[in-house]
A and B are shown apart, each in its own frame.
Chain A
Amino acid sequence: MAYLNVEGAIKRYGATTALNGVSFTVAKGEFFTLLGPSGCGKTTLLRSIAGFSQLSAGNVELDGTDLLTVPPHRRDIGMVFQDYAIFPHLTVAENVAFGLKARKVAASEIRDRVAEALATVRLSALSERLPAALSGGQQQRIGIARAMVVKPRLLLMDEPLSNLDAKLRLDLRDEIRDIQRTIGIAAIYVTHDQEEALAISDRICVMDGGSIEQIGTPQQIYGQPATRFVASFVGTMNLLSPAAFGLPDMLGVAQWALRPERLRLAEGGAGEHGASDFTGLVEHFTYLGREAHLTVQAQGHRLVAQIAAPPADLAIETGREIRLGFDRADLHAFDAAGRRVRMERAA
């Protein structure tokens, strides 16, 4: 089933190791995201697949053929760049037609396909403009159209939205996802923005320090983080020491973790079965409309709680005592090496 197969990818720059034996597969039509902090090796990996940087060791196969012996311009892999890389001396239409010309496509077909691609990214009206006059969002749309129009075997995107402002980022994110689904192309997307990764991907590969921490669906990555790194990099995690909050001191569990939205106000109400209630001191209260954030000091821990749909009159003063509660079933457990301990045993 594997369409793209990366095996044992290693990249060394002198004494430093950028990729430390990375292996994964991407299926046909899948939207696969490499997620990690800067310097985790995700861009190096992407550029190795594109051919702009060479692996020190390892294999990359695309559709059953070895990719590494093919020079970059024959790999037929589309790429969308962080800085757009739109050719400033060519019009919008010429930019999109650029790859088709290299493939010696007939002029009439070029015209049709460029028009179609520009319609897809909603830039038809600007086709004769020079890119310098266009906004960042428009430039990146050209970049996407230019990469897609040649119908490459694989589409690579290197943080394509990181130079755009927040609102545009959301819009273009959804557009990218729609276009990719319509065309049915396999895509690898690099980002350091965990929310973007969750929103856009079929599967996410979380990386840190040149190694893979976890590969899984967005639900798996967020709901069952395989390591403590994944747990705290994707979303927010409250880390609790083993013996705090009346938790059982279990063999092999070095740390408990709890999502902020799993903490709830427990004022007055008695704890249900399997629930732990505790008292803490309010440090901060932030009311955000659709939710409210609480920072609470309790039992030597600084905990963040997120209350969904807070009542309109909810106001909590700093410095007062508050009672919070959580379900033990919502806890994550990690061992001393930071690996996940299966919850069936923990709960």
Chain B
Amino acid sequence: MSAVAAPAGRSGWHPDFWTLVAVGAWAILIVLLLVPLGLVLVSSFRDESGQLTFANWQRLFTSARYFNALVNTLIVGFGGLAGALLLGSVMAFCMARIRIAGGRFVSMMAILALVSPPFIGAYSWIVLFGSGGIVRQTLMGWGIFMPPIYGVWGILIVFAFKFYPYVYLLTSGALVNINRSLEEAAENLGLTPFQRVIKISFPLVLPALSAGGLLALIHAIADFGTPRLLGRGFNVLATEAYTAYSAEIGSNLGMATTLSLVLILMSMVFVFIQRYMSRRNVYHSNLINRPDKIQLRGFANVAAHAAVYFIALGGAMPAIIAAIYSVRKTNGPVFQPGFGLESYSRIIATLGDVVRNSLVFSGVSVLLIVVVGTLIGCLVARRNSAQSSLLDATLMVPYVMPGIVIGVAFIAAFNTPPLVMTGTAAIIILSVFIRRLPYAVRSSAAALRQVGPSMEEAAVSLGYSPVHAFIKVTIPLILPGIVAGAMLSFVTAINELSSSLVLYVGGTITMPVKIYIAINDGDYGTAASLSTILLVLSGSAIYLAFRLLGRDERALL
């Protein structure tokens, strides 16, 4: 039906091109996704000598260690979900419906929380609330006892503040878009304000709320850095998979892959549950009447502001602490009183290649993501065939795959011939590429669906060939979306930790990996300054994306 498809039978060129794209897309998915995952599956049924065994799966349920990790993962997953839902929905409601002074500052804080480099969050919490943490020590000095933040509660607190932006950004978007007339109609029909919220507003934001919650849940069960630093014996599947893989003595790839599979399955199940829950709840309204923000007075106003700023500052705190600590005077790894730029000069002197690695790897993967993602996006958006739907569905897999799993899968696939890539830059670039590809496909397909086929048809009717029409009309229209998507991919690429941690070797070390190592070595100055550099890079990319897209924080998710 579309102009792209119409002349296909005649010119003979066009179908070949898109068929090529389809073949290429499948080749990429098979080599970088299906084969590694297949090998993960196979490897989980093998012992060290390569014999078929169910021992790994047996151990998962019989060994107290792995069973605990399984339970712990569920605890931090749902605990993190509950915390994110609580903070996120309070924040969303206040920001969408109440006049909050400095609203722009608050949503900037939320974005800061979202793009904070992994690890640095947990580290900053330790700086303030750990055994020797500043806040804890101060309180103890005043005679107030405060337990250190380590253990399951610490992880949950960090998760709540780290993942609330997912819930907040999606839900506030939905709340702002509820047609005010609906709530007025409910009021007019005699519902009390409370009933109105339960019966009208809540069902209308449920899809957004559950989508935000799902993101929080998936990220919480996949998170590796936080439980690693704060857990102190509280292990989850992601950390156990890494331990099983990286243990110097008795490295156990079979166990690592088994744990990885459990993680994928868990994420998949949660995705399906969320889809099932919100299957009926897709509402479109041609919005006429946006809800008004109300001005609260007195105590209620103070309470609302306190809640919003508490959440916003709590979420952004790690980034702020990192920025402050990055300019503290240091002597080697030890902080000295006063401020200085020693950490930055040390980075320039000795860690230039780490920064360069990060920039090159993310740059190359973003380039790949944009080109391949746009082509596949066009294919998915313009060709309604069973094959392209299957492609779209397959791309859901990397969407829910924890980074640690990609890392382990790539090791399983590319450590032996025919394709040996371990230890190369390529393996890190490709791992980032495959993880982020679904986002690019989705965003370019969405941009393309917005354009609509009649634009191209108009150009064709005016004398442009289909290819020419695509270049002259469609590309300029979707370009801002593509570039913005690229910027957001860059943010995730440069902050990628868990897969790189499995895949790096000395020469391919990246900034997040270096931060992890520096924190483990107690070199906090280096960690803080590297984190600050990451933050600045991410912030610039996001600023650019917002300039291009118009300001829509939800694009970050």
**Is the pairing of A and B real?**
yes
- Taking beta carbons and an 8 Å cutoff, which residues of A are in contact with B? 50-54, 69, 71-79, 81-83, 85, 87-89, 98-99, 102-103, 143, 146-147, 150, 156
Alpha-carbon distance between A73 and B3 when the two chains are bound, in angstroms: 10
Q: Are A52 and B6 in contact, CB atoms less than 8 angstroms apart? A: yes
With contacts A71-B7, A87-B455, A146-B458 known, what are 16 further pairs, Cβ within 8 A? Answer: A50-B461, A51-B460, A54-B9, A69-B10, A71-B10, A72-B460, A73-B462, A75-B461, A81-B458, A83-B452, A87-B459, A89-B477, A99-B462, A99-B463, A102-B462, A102-B468
How far is the CB of B471 from the nearest CB of chain A, in Å?
A: 12
Mark each residue of chain B from 44 to 60: 1 if its CB lies under 8 Å from any CB of chain A, else 0: 00000000000000000
Min CB distance A67 to B, Å, is 13
Q: A150 vs B462: C-alpha distance in the bound complex, in angstroms? A: 8
Cross-chain contact B462 with A51 (CB below 8 angstroms): no
Cα-based distance from A51 to B466 in the complex (angstroms):
12
Q: Which of B457, B466, B477 has the most CB of A within 10 A?
A: B457
Residues in B whose Cβ lies below 8 Å from that of A156: 461
A79 in contact with B458 (CB, 8 Å): yes
Kindly identify which residue among B1, B462, B476 contacts A98, using a CB–CB cutoff of 8 Å.
B462
Return 22 A-B CB contacts under 8 Å, by A number. A50-B457, A51-B6, A52-B3, A52-B6, A69-B10, A72-B7, A73-B7, A73-B461, A73-B462, A73-B464, A73-B469, A77-B461, A79-B461, A81-B454, A85-B454, A85-B455, A85-B457, A87-B455, A88-B477, A103-B463, A143-B458, A146-B458
Q: Which B residues are in CB contact (< 8 Å) with A54? A: 6, 9
| Known contacts A52-B6, A53-B6, A87-B473; A102/B454 CB under 8 A | no
Does B201 make an interface contact (CB < 8 A)? Answer: no
Q: Is B465 interfacial (CB-CB < 8 Å)?
A: yes
Q: Is the CB of B461 within 8 A of A147?
A: yes
Which B residues are in CB contact (< 8 Å) with A71? 7, 10-11, 465
B455 and A102: CB pair below 8 A?
Answer: no
A143 and B460 CA atoms in complex are apart in Å by 14
Using CB atoms, name the residue of chain B closest to A99: B462
Could you say which residues of chain B place their CB within 8 Å of the CB of A77? 461
- Cβ–Cβ contact B457 & A52, under 8 A: yes
With the chains together, A266 CA to B459 CA distance in Å? 60
When the two chains form the complex, which single residue of B10, B464, B477 contacts A102, counting CB atoms closer than 8 Å?
B464
Within 8 A of A (CB), among B437-473: 452, 454-455, 457-466, 468-469, 473
Closest residue on chain B to residue A87 by CB atoms = B473
Q: Which residues of B contact A81 (CB under 8 A)?
A: 454, 457-458
CB distance from A38 to the nearest CB of B (A): 16
Q: Which of B1-41 contact A (CB under 8 A)?
A: 1-3, 6-7, 9-11
A113 to B452: give the CA distance in the assembly, Å: 28
Distance A103 CA – B464 CA, assembled complex (angstroms): 9
Please measure, in the bound complex, the distance between the C-alpha atom of A276 and the C-alpha atom of B421, giving whole angstroms. 96
Closest to B11 in A: A71
- Contact residues in A for B464 (Cβ distance below 8 Å): 73, 102
Q: Give per-residue flags for B193-204: 1 if the beta carbon is below 8 A from chain A beta carbons, else 0.
A: 000000000000
Pick the most buried of A78, A83, A98, A143: most chain B CB atoms within 10 A of its CB.
Answer: A98
Residue of B9, B461, B476 near A89 (CB, 8 A) is: B476
Residue of B nearest to A51 (CB): B6
In the assembled complex, the Cα of A98 lies from the Cα of B473 at a distance in Å of: 10
**Minimum CB distance partner of B480 in chain A:** A89
The CA-CA distance from A52 to B462 in the complex, in Å, is 13
Top 9 A-B residue pairs of the complex, sorted by shortest distance between their CB atoms: A99-B462, A102-B463, A85-B458, A79-B461, A85-B454, A71-B7, A73-B460, A81-B454, A89-B476
| Residue of chain B at shortest CB distance from A70 | B10
Chain B residues whose CB sits within 8 angstroms of the CB of A85 once the complex forms: 452, 454-455, 457-458
A75, B9: Cα distance in complex, Å: 16
A273 CB → nearest B CB, Å: 58
Interface centre among B2, B3, B461 (most CB of A within 10 A): B461
Q: How far is the CA of A85 from the CA of B2 in the complex (A)?
A: 14
Please give me the residue from chain B that is nearest to A72 by CB atom.
B460
B252: min CB distance to chain A, Å: 55
A143–B9 Cα distance when bound, in Å, is 29
With a cutoff of 8 Å between Cβ atoms, the chain A residues found around residue B454 in the complex are 81-83, 85
Q: In angstroms, how far is the closest chain B Cβ from the Cβ of A249?
A: 51
Question: When the two chains form their complex, are residues B457 and A73 in contact, meaning their CB atoms are under 8 A apart?
Answer: no
Nearest-Cβ distance from residue A121 to partner chain B, whole angstroms: 16
Q: How far is the CA of A186 from the CA of B454 in the complex (A)?
A: 22
User: Closest CB of chain B to A253's CB: distance in Å?
Assistant: 44
**Of B7, B10, B452, B463, which contacts A76 at CB under 8 A?**
B463
Kindly name the residue among A74, A75, A85, A88 whose own CB sees the greatest number of chain B CB atoms within 10 A: A85
Contact in complex: B1, A53 (CB < 8 Å): yes
Given the complex, which residues of A lie within 8 Å of B476, measured CB to CB? 89
Structural contact, B477 and A73, CB atoms closer than 8 A:
no
Nearest-Cβ distance from residue A62 to partner chain B, whole angstroms: 14
Please report the C-alpha to C-alpha distance between residue A52 and residue B8 in the assembled complex, in whole angstroms.
11
Q: How far is the CB of B510 from chain A (nearest CB, A)?
A: 38
A73 to B462, CA, bound (A): 7
A98 partner residues in chain B, CB cutoff 8 A: 459, 462
Contact of B457 among A75, A79, A146, A150 (CB under 8 A): A79
Q: Which of A73, A87, A98, A143 has the most CB of B within 10 A?
A: A73
Q: Is the beta-carbon distance between B458 and A73 smaller than 8 angstroms?
A: no
Most buried by B among A77, A87, A143: A87
Min distance, Cβ A160 to any Cβ of chain B, angstroms: 12
Residue of chain B at shortest CB distance from A74: B463
Closest-by-CB residue of B relative to A83 is B454
Give the docked Cα–Cα distance between A71 and B461 (Å).
Answer: 10
Q: Indicate whether A72 sits within 8 Å of B3 (C-beta atoms), given known contacts A50-B461, A103-B463.
A: yes
B463–A73 touching, CB < 8 Å: yes
- In the assembly, what is the distance between CA of A251 and CA of B493, in Å? 83
Q: How far is the CA of A143 from the CA of B476 in the complex (A)?
A: 19
| B10 contact set on A, CB distance < 8 A | 69, 71
Contact A73 B466, beta carbon cutoff 8 Å:
yes
Q: How far is the CB of B480 from chain A (nearest CB, A)?
A: 10
- By a CB distance below 8 angstroms, the chain A residues around B460 are 51-52, 72-73
Which residue on chain A has the smallest CB distance to residue B6? A52
| CA–CA, A103 and B463, complex, Å | 7
A99 surroundings in chain B (CB, below 8 A): 462-463
Whole-angstrom distance between the alpha carbons of A74 and B6 in the complex?
Answer: 13
Complex formed: what's the CA distance from A69 to B454 in Å? 22
Q: Which residues of B contact A75 (CB under 8 A)?
A: 461
Closest-by-CB residue of B relative to A89 is B476
Residue of A nearest to B454 (CB): A85
User: Nearest Cβ distance between residue A189 and chain B, in whole angstroms?
Assistant: 15
CA distance A98 to B2 in the complex (A): 20
Please give, as numbers and ranges, the residues of chain A lying within 8 Å of B466 by CB-CB distance.
Answer: 73
Query: Which chain A residue shows the least CB distance to B459?
Result: A98
Residue of B nearest to A146 (CB): B462
CB nearest neighbor in A for B1: A53
Q: Is the CB of B1 within 8 A of A52?
A: yes
Q: Which A residues lie within 8 Å of B6 (CB)?
A: 51-54, 72
In the assembled complex, the CB of A53 is this many whole angstroms from the nearest CB of chain B, namely: 6
B177–chain A nearest beta-carbon distance, Å: 21
